[in-house]
Amino acid sequence: MSRHIRKKLGENDKAKDAKGTLRRLWNYLSKMKIILYLVILMVFISSAAALLGPFLVGKAIDDYIVTKEASGLVVLITGLIVVYILHSMAVWFQNYWMIGVAQDTVYRLRKDLFHQLHQLSIPFFDKRKHGELMSRVTNDIDNVSATLNSSFIQIISSVLTLVGTVTIMLWLSPLLTLITLTIVPLMVFGMKWITKRTGRLFKQYQHNIGELNGYIEETISGHSIIKTFSREETAIKEFGEKNQRLKTAAYWADTYSGFIPKLMNVLNNLSFAVIAGVGGVFALNGMITIGVIVIFAEYARQFTRPLNELANQYNTLLSAIAGAERVFQILDEEEEAKDEGDAVEIVSVEGKVEFQHVSFSYEKGEPTLKDVSFSIRPGETVALVGPTGAGKTTITNLLSRFYELNEGRIEIDGLNIQTIKRKSLRQQMGFVLQDSFLFQGTIADNIRYGRLNASDEDVKDAAKLANAHTFIEKMPEGYDTMLRADGSGISQGQKQLLSIARAILSNPSILILDEATSSIDTITELKIQDALKRLMKGRTSVVVAHRLNTIRQADQILVLDGGKIIEQGTHDELLKVKGFYHGLYHSQLKESG
Ligand code: ADP
């Protein structure tokens, strides 16, 4: 697509408070104030040199060529060369310094943003799509950087050039200036006419390309379904239609946008003809000199360029401001509440956990937990069971203070958890979650994440306890095998074993387990069960349970429904009651065959 097609602005590209955003961006920029002023100075010099060049040429014609005065001409031409060298140097310096300013600014912006992301609370992340956050850290900041790099200088220099040329032209001949400027409205209308059409066409083009890509993705990932149902013909036909639509849209968008440089050319030539013709008549009447005609011809060419550039920069600038605004919005988000001033550090705990009349809601007016009370003795295992949405995960969220309860009290070893520093509270806890997250790095690094100062031996011992050692040894480079961030290359079950090893290494007093629901082969499943048993031994464990095995062996089972504990007891006790748990157990037994 031609760069002349101006992108139509979507909702996302408009800043709500452009002025405020610019002011804050300026605050970032102003850390490099001195260099920025140097850049502006260079832009002044380069713009002035660009204006001075044609002016000197005109002077040379009038004062020396017409009068055939060679020595003066040599001096003037030397001056002209100096001006052009000065211009090139100023342009080089302004770009060089501006790159520094732009990169330093976005470096600080990126740093603050990343720092802020890690101060934000879990609720903040729960409420947002990860892709969108990623896009802020990467795209929005790139956008700001690109715009600072190019637009800043271009906008200042375009404005200076416009004002400069028109001022000198007016000074030389107000009448010829007015006649030359009649071309401007023609140009503006022409541009408007074309961009209105290209804007629409470009949007259509974007839409069609999105649709086509979506279709390709869908058919590739669903290719086996397509084959099973013998729908290849239909798929090819549908693709053909979308492809045709894209072709048409691209054809017209390119055609129309191709008009822009042509139109500019025609108008430029037109203005040249007008200046030469009208200027010639004026010169014959002695109203102006030949040199002035040359200056005008050159200036007329110079001011179409900045007009064009300002128009091109406008949308880029708006979308960069909108991007910057989105970045600032995150910087303004409230950080995870600070610990109370008198919050205490805990070094180690026995692991007694107590919920006293705890109520909580994510959204006001929609209680998620209602008056939940239970207590776990140190080293005991509690299984939380119940239908999806019953509030099991919420209980673990409150215990780790990812969310703060609304009513009641949670105690660990008799200490209200709200009086404990969050970091030290979480250090007492280990998490083995459904989606065991692995970072890009070696297997050893991934296990060591549980305790950064652990030795290689410790890592290996933890892996052995987690039943992970054997499969790690079989990997091409053993503990040094690189894992990818998307976790490809190892199975779901192996990922779990690694996250168990990680938890073993961190040696927490309280364990929070969210069992995986996904099916895992029987042998790995047995290994996981065995590793979990070892991990849970002697630790207080809160298990969001899906597997019958863990549930049966739990010291205590809490059956939740609708945010309330409806049954409580051991497996055998609960079966005897023949209530909710009894039903759940038998339906699961049936499912697992
Ligand atoms: P379970 O783990 O038993 O499946 P959860 O504790 O995850 O249930 O969820 C309990 C209820 O709270 C559900 O209705 C769920 O939709 C809601 N919920 C869970 N997380 C959030 C959240 N971050 N924001 C708002 N509501 C949530």
What whole-number distance in Å separates Cα of residue 463 and Cα of residue 472?
8
- Residues 179, 56 share a domain: yes
Distance 485 CA to ligand 1 centre (A): 27
Q: With cut-offs at 50, 70 and 90, classify the pLDDT of residue 592.
A: low
Signed CA dihedral, 424, 428, 432, 434: sign only: negative
* Mean model confidence pLDDT for the chain: 86
For a ligand 1 pocket test, name from 364, 368, 564, 565 the mutation site with the most ligand atoms within 8 angstroms of its C-beta: 368
Residue 211 lies in a domain: yes
Q: What percent of the chain has pLDDT over 90?
A: 42
Q: Which residues, 6 or more positions from 132, have their beta carbon under 8 angstroms from its beta carbon?
A: none
Q: Which of 152-161, 289-298, 324-333, 429-438 has the lowest mean pLDDT?
A: 429-438
Q: Kindly state the DSSP code that residue 417 receives in the 8-state scheme.
A: G
> What average pLDDT does the segment 147-157 reach?
87
Residue with the smallest CA separation from ligand 1 atom 25 is 362
pLDDT tens across 331-380, in order?
Answer: 888 777 777 778 888 888 899 999 999 999 998 888 999 999 999 999 99
Q: Which of the listed residues 331, 346, 368 is the one where a domain comes to its end? A: 331
Residue 573 lies in a domain: yes
Residue with the smallest CA separation from ligand 1 atom 26 is 362
Its domain, for residue 367, covers: 337-428+553-593
Nearest atom (ligand 1) to Cα of 394: 6
What whole-number distance in Å separates Cα of residue 530 and Cα of residue 496?
12
- Residues 262, 371 share a domain: no
Residue 244 lies in a domain: yes
pLDDT tens across 210-223, in order?
Answer: 888 888 888 888 88
From the list 135, 141, 195, the residue with the least C-alpha distance to 25 is: 141
CA 429 to chain centroid, in Å, comes to 31
Q: DSSP letters along 471-539, please? A: HHHHSTTGGG-EE-TT-TTS-HHHHHHHHHHHHHHH--SEEEEE---S---HHHHHHHHHHHHHHHTTS
Distance 368 CA to ligand 1 centre (A): 7
Distance 541 CA to ligand 1 centre (A): 21
Residue 373 lies in a domain: yes
pTM: 0.69
Distance 388 CA to ligand 1 centre (A): 9
3-class secondary-structure state, position 403: coil
Phi, psi dihedrals of residue 568, rounded to the nearest 5°? -155, 130
Q: With cut-offs at 50, 70 and 90, classify the pLDDT of residue 444.
A: very high
Distance 391 CA to ligand 1 centre (A): 6
Q: What percent of the chain has pLDDT over 70?
A: 95
Domain of residue 558, CATH code:
3.40.50.300
For residue 322, the model assigns a pLDDT of 85
Residue 526 lies in a domain: no
Domain of residue 257, CATH code:
1.20.1560.10
Residue with the smallest CA separation from ligand 1 atom 11 is 389
For a ligand 1 pocket test, name from 394, 558, 565 the mutation site with the most ligand atoms within 8 angstroms of its C-beta: 394
